[in-house]
């Protein structure tokens, strides 16, 4: 598959790049970012996918999370997809930051018109890794996934649903129960229709109760996060993991809000969590 290089920048001895690919899953071109650590010059390295949240693009985490320094130290490649297809022209795809472009929710929509382009689960789990494997020195057998907010929902649900693809998972301020909160109910109703059994296939709490991930999960949550009570409710995931016997470290941090200063403060712990689980 062809890859267009948009820009590349030396960074902590490695390379931060921005790319575009043709996406069959999303019916158009999709952008993504890759950080290659210095160790990638000598051979294949483990890979960590970072899924960003509502309103974000492939640039957000690359520019704001401050992950490259420790990724360079640990020899971790970082892959940062966009959060949805772009310039779809669909009615209602823009103008509401909680839905549509910038808000793909990392699932394959089943409802028209969204089902023809909003297929972020296929893009992130299958299509993008194939391109990464072909064009970068990534070791696909050592892949982890993390994310923030909507991206934390993506990381948890995709890891639980595709344990053969992901050996490690973590999340920052994730939406853990989208079936129960306004962000999830709005998006799922439009992308998936009124089929609540289908919704449950994309809900981290429902999924972990049915099939725990097995390996330890790390979640960080700021206590000054304005979305904590309405949209995030991490206690629901804590209870579901306890019921399912899933090992979870849920850290609550006083004073931290929902933004990237919070992520930058704890990203190194997540990179070390993944590096330890992705070691040979």
Active site residues: 149, 225, 258
CA–CA dist 68, 150 (Å, integer) = 22
Which residue stretch of 14-22, 35-43, 48-56, 66-74 sits at the interface with ligand LAXINWYW (rule: CB under 6 A)?
48-56
Q: How far is the CB of 220 from ligand LAXINWYW (least distance, A)?
A: 14
DSSP state of 93: S
Residues 137-156 as x/- pattern, contact with ligand LAXINWYW by CB under 6 A: -----------xxx------
| CA 6 – CA 201 distance, rounded (Å) | 35
Tell me the closest approach of the beta carbon of residue 121 to ligand LAXINWYW, in angstroms.
Answer: 16
Q: Does 53 bind ligand LAXINWYW (CB under 6 A)?
A: yes
Classify residue 147 by burial, with Cβ atoms within 10 Å: 0-12, 13-18, 19+.
buried
84 touching ligand LAXINWYW, by CB under 6 A: no
Does 222 sit near ligand LAXINWYW (CB under 6 A)?
no
Write each residue from 164 to 203 as x if it is in contact with ligand LAXINWYW (CB under 6 A), else as -, in one continuous string. Answer: ----------------------------------------
> Considering all CA atoms of the chain, what is the largest pairwise distance in Å, rounded to the nearest integer?
50
- Minimum Å gap between C-beta 5 and ligand LAXINWYW is 25
CA–CA distance from 208 to each of 41, 158, 182, 264 (Å)?
A: 38, 11, 21, 27
Residues near ligand LAXINWYW (CB under 6 A):
53-56, 60, 64, 97, 148-150, 258-260
């Amino acid at each position: 598959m062809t890859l267009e290089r948009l820009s590349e920048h030396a960074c902590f001895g490695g390379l931060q790049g921005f790319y575009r690919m043709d996406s069959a899953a999303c019916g158009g071109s999709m952008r993504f970012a890759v950080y290659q650590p210095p160790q990638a010059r000598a051979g294949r390295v483990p890979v960590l996918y970072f899924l960003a949240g509502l309103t974000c693009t492939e640039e957000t985490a690359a520019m704001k999370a401050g992950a490259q320094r420790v990724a360079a130290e640990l020899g971790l490649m970082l892959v940062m997809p966009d959060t949805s297809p772009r310039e779809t022209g669909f009615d209602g795809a823009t103008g509401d930051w909680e839905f549509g472009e910038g808000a793909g929710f990392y699932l394959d929509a089943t409802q028209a018109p969204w089902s023809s382009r909003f297929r972020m689960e296929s893009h992130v789990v299958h299509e993008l890794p194939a391109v990464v494997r072909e064009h970068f020195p990534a070791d696909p057998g050592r892949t982890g996934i993390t994310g923030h907010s909507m991206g934390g929902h993506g990381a948890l649900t995709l890891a639980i649903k595709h344990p053969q693809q992901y050996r490690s998972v973590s999340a920052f301020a994730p939406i853990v129960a989208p079936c129960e909160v306004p962000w999830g109910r709005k998006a799922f109703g439009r992308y998936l229709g009124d089929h609540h059994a289908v919704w449950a296939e994309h809900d981290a709490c429902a999924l972990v109760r049915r099939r725990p991930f097995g390996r330890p999960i790390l979640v960080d949550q700021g206590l000054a996060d304005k979305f904590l009570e309405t949209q995030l409710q991490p206690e629901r995931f804590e209870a579901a993991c306890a019921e399912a016997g899933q090992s979870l470290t849920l850290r609550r941090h006083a004073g931290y809000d929902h933004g990237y200063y919070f992520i930058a403060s704890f990203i190194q712990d997540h990179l070390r969590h993944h590096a330890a689980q992705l070691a040979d």
